[in-house]
Structure 1
Amino acid sequence: MAGSTRSLRPSVRQGRRLGVLGLLVAAALLLLAPSSTAYAAGDEGMDSFVAVYDVQRDGSMKVTETITWRFPSGERKHGIFRDIVVRMGWNDEENRYRYYDLTDVAVSSPSGAPDAFRVSDMGASREIRIGSSSEYTSGTQVYKVSYTLHNVLNPITADGKPATDSSQADTVELYYNVFGTNEMTARDRVSVTVNAPTGSTKVACYQGVSRSDTPCRSTSGDPATFSTDALAPGDAMSVLASYPASAFGDVRADVRQGDSGASVGSEAAPAANAAAWAGAIGAPVLALAVMGALVWTRGRDERYADLTPGLSPAFGTGATGDGTPAAATVRGGSTTVAVQFQPPAGVQPGMVGTIIDETANPIDVSATLIDLAVRGFLRIEEITGEGVFSRTDWSLTRLAPPADERLLPYERQLLDGIFSTRGDVVRLSELKNTFASTLKRIQGAMYQEVVTRGWFRSSPQTQRGAWQGLGLVIAALGGLVLFYGRPAISAILGGGFSGGVALGIGLVVAGLIVWALGGRMAAKTAEGSAVLAQSLGFKEYLTTAEAGQIEFEEASNVFSRYLPYAVVFGVADRWAQTFADVARAAEAANQPLIMPTWYVWSGNAFPDFTSIAAGVDSFSTTSTGTFTSTPGSSGSSGFSGGGGFSGGGGGGSSSGSW
């Protein structure tokens, strides 16, 4: 009486992987060792394999196989098995497969061998295992196996290309692998007869190793016949027959989403299946719960509880000096912004950019370079290229350092990275494809600086990287389970497993949750939050400042000092427009303003604040790209498109004894 064994794919631990590997090695050694088994002795195989394929109008095929099996002499076996392929990849398309539904399985033995059977889902194939574990057989036995495969025909257009269905087709083809190259049984005689609603117009037959075009015997008509002799272990056999599409109904391939090796559950390992599904559901829930709790308790910024936003105990009750506040703190809450008319004391533009988004971006490094020019460490000069398609370049000239200015470690690394090996005059374009490694070191020094100042307890990049790295590891583990867990578990438990797909997806989702929430684990200290509030307040001033608020005597100096901050905030145009109004007012009052000398404009007219700001903004954008740049590094027809070959059709089968 027929039964059905379903299987699942749980995750595979390292130990089990090693166990599977050991089993595979042991199996290989057994196959290679001299023994009395079938292939070594040469006395097990099929005396004959006779198949009748009755192709139906709906594209299904009723199969009747009469197998005369010769068991090894002197050995008793329980019976044989037939593995029928039901899932195959589809046209090399990722995550899509063709499905041949297998139904109506029946088995008998005219020679009287045990003919009980069960059908098990083995992933890409269905195994029909014939015989009883409590009975033995030997000698030569005959088995008759019948079943139905659905959607086996390929609709083909007049120019030999695959069609979606038979309404668009000129012909339909049966291109079927009688045996795949995984058939390791010797077959003395093979005969296949194909009956169809009409006679075949063209036939072909191929045999041999994978992709062999060695022909076997074939005749067209009604019926079409195919035959060969002496197929060795590993030889495939494929038959090909073409019919007018008008003789059939709605014929189309059954193409589905998913892995061609997937299967649909199993009674072979219910505990493993349940565990896999529990893990599939539990992993994302656990990841969300744990990471949510961590973000709430450790990932939110600290704030001083009893101080006005933007103030710190340094202005009142005192602090420890290591980022640990003396005042009471709380976590969370929104940042209250009050206008600040100057940047936070002692906080450079690059530091402002880092505290705002907790990242030392290349734009922060570019703004640092502009700030160093404002402070007198270098001069930036535009160089206009010649030609219609030429681009503006900039010359950077290192100047004698001002006596009253002190460089921070990351600022010194930036200057040395540009000038130390290139001289005191360097074009920005010369840094292309060579500065990326220096940029990484500068960014690392910037992260260290915000820790030194007590704004973070550890590098925000390190905090994010640790958690996001863990998320990627979990997701990668899910990917391994998803793509490699099924065959490993199948090797252990003897079947394909649906739970492995679910568990793999669950782990991938859990990893993505850890990765996403891990990006929020870079929490600022209360002192860091105070600096953030001051920085956002200063941004508010840069975007709302009015020309009438700025004294003519201070205008040029204020414009230059604050311009790098405007670049970081992305409001350089607004800041320049304000000073354009100041310049016009000063001109009307006969007090013309002196333009900055740290930036040399290449325009034809005299520079003004707007042109300088535009040039600086363009310099910032271009330098950001230059700093980060790195060098570049050098179901179709079997009768067309190169013809058919053995193993090139759909479906297939393999056999063995047990």
Structure 2
Amino acid sequence: MLGALVAVVLLLVAPAGAAQAAGGEAMQSFAAVYDVQADGSMKVAETITWRFPSGEQRHGIFRNIVVRMGYNNEENRYRYYDLTDVAVSSPSGAPDAFSVSDYGAAKQIRIGSATEYTSGTQVYKVSYTLHNVLNPITADGRPATGTAPADTVELNYNVFGANELTERDRVSVTVNAPAAATKVLCYSGPSGSTTQCSGSAGDPSRFSAGPLASGDAMTVIASFPASAFGDVHADVRTGGAGSSVGSEAAPAVNAAAWIGGIGAPVLALAVMGMLVWTRGRDERYADLTPGLSPVPSPAGGPTGGTGPTRTAGGTGTAGTPATVRGGSPTVAVQFQPPKGVQPGMVGTIIDETANPIDVSATVIDLAVRGFLRIEENEGGGMFSRTDWTLTRLEPPAGERLLPYERSLLDGIFSTRGDVVQLSELKNTFATTLKSIQRQMYQEVVTRGWFRSSPQTQRGVWQGLGVVIAVLGGLLLFYGRPAISAILGGGFSGGVALGIGLVLAGVIVWVLGGRMAAKTAEGSAVLAQSLGFKEYLTTAEAGQIAFEEASNVFSRYLPYAVVFGVADRWARTFAEVARAAEAANQPLLMPTWYVWSGNAFPDFTGIAAGVESFSTTSTGTFTSTPGSSGSSGFGGGGFSGGGGGGSSSGSW
């Protein structure tokens, strides 16, 4: 029977695993060497083997290295890790040009070329130095001060933060230091996890973990004698049991456990598959052109698709028009966005998620509509990039804000006056962001695109999957020995039942992620949105009239940011501007975005600035405080509980 169980397990997990191995994006390996210096800095050398999605091309990868973290929950103080000496190469021959820029509370090392592509599996070597990484610790585990000298020096560092969404197959870290480590700890898993990974003290100290799933953090802690180091300090700045059943019952209980272990994942797959087929697929209007929805006929009933139609994006229609489930929307070019559908709503309907980039695009849209002005401010230093000043303006007449838009505007300005630097929002805006995202989900329900929040639809099923999997794990590690003792003998079926429940939970979690289904009206809006994206990526300069060009550029730019095609949109308008100049009809530049370039502003410069703003604001909005200078030993350590950290992705 054990062979049968293994066969069922392999049958259930092989397709998903094979698909991931064949086409899923992941770090096949991440090997880092941390050379800890006597002055408290750390030289980092990373060797990253990156598997790009099968059949897709990318420009390269990026690494977000945290350099600012809140310190000991102290208001208006943060810990800073200065990042210098960045170098990048690719032994496999991938494009290895790089740039370093601010990304919220991190520095982003963006590797690759905008004019070159790469694919398959590539190797990148990334090196840099982080300063003031070590913590001086007293004998009783507190941060050392002038009156309480250090007994040890600790490296308590997040190799990855919980915001690392790329899966990692293998992770290894080697720590070299002026003296051998006396003790080490390693944690991995979701933020706050106390699950330990492999770590060995010595000279050098070594750590390993894997595989790490999306959202798993990893923290390494190593303690060294303070005598081997100089003046080590944190750079803290001001800113911002029961009776026996009897052995006669054991065979029946074991048989039932085996049946449950095999049947649980099969039942989960059958039930969830049926639910996805009947409720998890998008609806669409039958016999209507994609992107259109029915309107009431003159008699008051639905037209059935033969009478007048209107564009999608409204609030509903009379009657109950025929709908079907499934199928992909047919995309036809649309020369304007869906009527009354803002960029943040387009981003939410496209992937059924209110992403931070949708919020950033909303800020840009509010600027285009006259609610605020965005002004670049050049920073100083080799790796510093532009900060932005946001200025609240008098609300334009005739313009009304949706609830999530007003919350966003108030969240930026209400406690800081009418002028605020984007960088001032770091480590403080994440709670406001979550509220805005909840309102965006409510808005798509109000508009009739979903019957309930897509986040809730996914969350309920995925939460159930987690509960089932946890029950299986508890049975494996805790319940099985207890039941075996009650039965007065072995409980071999407990392994099968535990594994079966874990697999069932995984199946429910995975398929639960597909339970956010759009209504027919939502599918109509999706079709129009995809059609508008097609226009933004194929528009030609000769199609755009000079007298409309400036207005069209600004109105459509936030949508281009959501779609990730802002650079393409800007190049089109650069051609329009040249043609207009030749015809002695120069175009007016937008006033809602104040460019800080050293020459006259142009469309490509403004679009590049806006795209950089959207990237930086996304990181700023999601940044949270988290570092301290206390010891990671003594029971207080956990995954993600150290200083620094990183996340990655491809572009």
8 Å CA contact 1:323, 1:525 repeated in 2: no
Q: Which residue of 2 aligns with 1:428?
A: 422
Q: Which residue of 1 aligns with 2:446?
A: 452
8 Å CA contact 2:295, 2:318 repeated in 1: no
Letter in 2 for 1:619: F
Rounded to whole Å, the distance in 1 between the matches of 2:582 and 2:328 is 45
List per-residue Cα deviations over 1:602-631 (Å, max 9, x = no partner): 110111000100110010011111111110
The answer as to 2:400 corresponding to 1:400 is: no
Of 388, 393, 397, the residue aligned with 2:382 is 388
The answer as to 2:266 corresponding to 1:272 is: no
Rounded to whole Å, the distance in 2 between the matches of 1:491 and 1:444 is 48
Please state whether the residue corresponding to 1:269 is helix, strand or coil.
helix
CA positional deviation for 1:324: 7.8
Please state whether the residue corresponding to 2:373 is helix, strand or coil.
strand
Could you tell me the percent identity over the aligned residues? Answer: 87
1:325 and 1:478, CA in 2 relative to 1: closer, same or farther beyond 3 A?
farther
List per-residue Cα deviations over 1:428-476 (Å, max 9, x = no partner): 1111010000001100100110111111111111111111111111011
CA positional deviation for 1:268: 7.5
Q: Which residue of 2 aligns with 1:464?
A: 458
CA positional deviation for 1:288: 0.4
Letter in 1 for 2:459: G
Please show how residues 339-350 of structure 1 align to structure 2 within 5 Å.
339-350=333-344
1:599 and 1:318, CA in 2 relative to 1: closer, same or farther beyond 3 A?
farther
CA positional deviation for 1:517: 0.7
How many residues are matched?
370
8 Å CA contact 2:295, 2:317 repeated in 1: no
Q: Which residue of 1 aligns with 2:330?
A: 336
CA positional deviation for 1:544: 0.2
1:315 and 1:429, CA in 2 relative to 1: closer, same or farther beyond 3 A?
farther
Of 361, 366, 374, the residue aligned with 1:372 is 366
Q: Which residue of 2 aligns with 1:295?
A: 276
Rounded to whole Å, the distance in 1 between the matches of 2:338 and 2:315 is 17
Rounded to whole Å, the distance in 2 between the matches of 1:506 and 1:525 is 34
1:332 and 1:575, CA in 2 relative to 1: closer, same or farther beyond 3 A?
same
The answer as to 2:588 corresponding to 1:607 is: no
CA positional deviation for 1:339: 0.4
Letter in 2 for 1:480: L
Rounded to whole Å, the distance in 2 between the matches of 1:585 and 1:346 is 31
Please state whether the residue corresponding to 2:292 is helix, strand or coil.
coil
Q: Which residue of 1 aligns with 2:357?
A: 363
Q: TM-score normalised to the size of structure 2?
A: 0.55
8 Å CA contact 2:357, 2:614 repeated in 1: yes
Unaligned runs of 5+ in 1: 1-265, 635-658
Letter in 2 for 1:503: L
8 Å CA contact 1:471, 1:511 repeated in 2: yes
Letter in 1 for 2:414: S
Q: Which residue of 1 aligns with 2:60?
A: none
Please state whether the residue corresponding to 2:361 is helix, strand or coil.
helix
8 Å CA contact 1:323, 1:453 repeated in 2: no
Rounded to whole Å, the distance in 2 between the matches of 1:325 and 1:536 is 27
Please state whether the residue corresponding to 1:299 is helix, strand or coil.
coil
Please state whether the residue corresponding to 1:558 is helix, strand or coil.
helix
Q: Which residue of 2 aligns with 1:312?
A: 293
Please state whether the residue corresponding to 1:394 is helix, strand or coil.
strand
Rounded to whole Å, the distance in 2 between the matches of 1:552 and 1:443 is 37
Letter in 2 for 1:510: A
Q: Which residue of 2 aligns with 1:231?
A: none
Q: Which residue of 2 aligns with 1:416?
A: 410
1:606 and 1:267, CA in 2 relative to 1: closer, same or farther beyond 3 A?
farther
Unaligned runs of 5+ in 2: 1-246, 304-313, 629-651
Q: Which residue of 2 aligns with 1:629?
A: 623
Please show how residues 555-566 of structure 1 align to structure 2 within 5 Å.
555-566=549-560
Letter in 1 for 2:270: A
List per-residue Cα deviations over 1:159-179 (Å, max 9, x = no partner): xxxxxxxxxxxxxxxxxxxxx
Letter in 1 for 2:285: Y
Rounded to whole Å, the distance in 2 between the matches of 1:322 and 1:488 is 57
Please show how residues 94-493 of structure 1 align to structure 2 within 5 Å.
269-314=250-295, 318=302, 326-493=320-487
CA positional deviation for 1:326: 2.7
Rounded to whole Å, the distance in 1 between the matches of 2:614 and 2:341 is 20
CA positional deviation for 1:498: 2.2
Please state whether the residue corresponding to 2:389 is helix, strand or coil.
strand
Rounded to whole Å, the distance in 2 between the matches of 1:471 and 1:390 is 44
Q: Which residue of 2 aligns with 1:522?
A: 516
List per-residue Cα deviations over 1:313-346 (Å, max 9, x = no partner): 1386659955786311111111100000000000
Q: Rg bigger for which structure?
A: 1
The answer as to 2:507 corresponding to 1:513 is: yes
Q: TM-score normalised to the size of structure 1?
A: 0.55
RMSD, aligned α-carbons: 1.8
Rounded to whole Å, the distance in 2 between the matches of 1:457 and 1:323 is 15
Q: Which residue of 2 aligns with 1:595?
A: 589
Q: Which residue of 2 aligns with 1:221?
A: none
The answer as to 2:580 corresponding to 1:586 is: yes
1:323 and 1:292, CA in 2 relative to 1: closer, same or farther beyond 3 A?
farther
CA positional deviation for 1:496: 3.5
Letter in 1 for 2:413: F
List per-residue Cα deviations over 1:487-545 (Å, max 9, x = no partner): 21122012332211121111011001001111111111111100000000000000000
Q: Which runs of 4+ in 1 moved over 2 A?
A: 314-326, 494-498
Please state whether the residue corresponding to 1:421 is helix, strand or coil.
coil
8 Å CA contact 1:300, 1:521 repeated in 2: yes
Letter in 1 for 2:322: A
8 Å CA contact 1:325, 1:526 repeated in 2: no
Please state whether the residue corresponding to 1:604 is helix, strand or coil.
coil
Letter in 2 for 1:295: V
Letter in 1 for 2:260: G
CA positional deviation for 1:404: 1.4
Q: Which residue of 2 aligns with 1:544?
A: 538
1:315 and 1:537, CA in 2 relative to 1: closer, same or farther beyond 3 A?
farther
Rounded to whole Å, the distance in 2 between the matches of 1:545 and 1:298 is 37
8 Å CA contact 2:294, 2:317 repeated in 1: no
Letter in 2 for 1:364: D
List per-residue Cα deviations over 1:525-576 (Å, max 9, x = no partner): 1111000000000000000000000001110100000000000001001100
1:593 and 1:418, CA in 2 relative to 1: closer, same or farther beyond 3 A?
same
CA positional deviation for 1:389: 2.7
1:626 and 1:296, CA in 2 relative to 1: closer, same or farther beyond 3 A?
same
Please state whether the residue corresponding to 1:520 is helix, strand or coil.
coil
1:488 and 1:322, CA in 2 relative to 1: closer, same or farther beyond 3 A?
farther
1:359 and 1:323, CA in 2 relative to 1: closer, same or farther beyond 3 A?
farther
Q: Which residue of 2 aligns with 1:209?
A: none
8 Å CA contact 1:313, 1:325 repeated in 2: no
Rounded to whole Å, the distance in 2 between the matches of 1:336 and 1:271 is 56
Please state whether the residue corresponding to 2:284 is helix, strand or coil.
strand
8 Å CA contact 2:296, 2:319 repeated in 1: no
8 Å CA contact 1:268, 1:495 repeated in 2: no
1:421 and 1:318, CA in 2 relative to 1: closer, same or farther beyond 3 A?
farther
CA positional deviation for 1:486: 1.9
8 Å CA contact 1:303, 1:331 repeated in 2: yes
Please show how residues 40-55 of structure 1 align to structure 2 within 5 Å.
none
Please state whether the residue corresponding to 1:312 is helix, strand or coil.
strand
1:487 and 1:324, CA in 2 relative to 1: closer, same or farther beyond 3 A?
farther
Rounded to whole Å, the distance in 1 between the matches of 2:527 and 2:295 is 15
CA positional deviation for 1:274: 1.2
Please show how residues 51-90 of structure 1 align to structure 2 within 5 Å.
none
Rounded to whole Å, the distance in 2 between the matches of 1:285 and 1:541 is 45
8 Å CA contact 2:272, 2:508 repeated in 1: yes
